[in-house]
Amino acid sequence: DQQVKQNSPSLSVQEGRISILNCDYTNSMFDYFLWYKKYPAEGPTFLISISSIKDKNEDGRFTVFLNKSAKHLSLHIVPSQPGDSAVYFCAAIGYNTDKLIFGTGTRLQVFP
């Protein structure tokens, strides 16, 4: 039972354009959401997070949007750069737990 879903296994975007990565979840008790980026042969690296009491969080080129009623969040990268090419994982934390529930990831490729 996949509680966090990333339905697009891959995404290809031209350099300079916006990349939008999507994530859906099923558990309304999730309290906090995070995005991680993973390069080959490296561990996931924390990118940005958002609390369930907010609907937007921005950090430089990265913005995460949360729509609680739709149980949907998205990561916007603008402008996209070739160095952004990686696998992006969406993850969620339940209320009063220390455990991350990951999605299956979306492979982003940014081409020149």
Q: Which conformational region is residue 60 in: left (phi greater than 0), alpha (psi within -120 to 50 degrees), or beta?
A: left
Nearer to other proteins, 79 or 109 (CB): 109
By the criterion CB under 8 A, which residues form the site for other proteins? 2, 4, 9, 31-32, 34, 36, 41-46, 49, 51, 89, 93, 98-100, 102-105
Cβ within 8 Å of residue 60, ≥6 positions away: none
Nearer to other proteins, 42 or 112 (CB): 42
Residue 61: count other Cβ atoms within 10 Å of its Cβ: 14
Nearer to other proteins, 65 or 102 (CB): 102
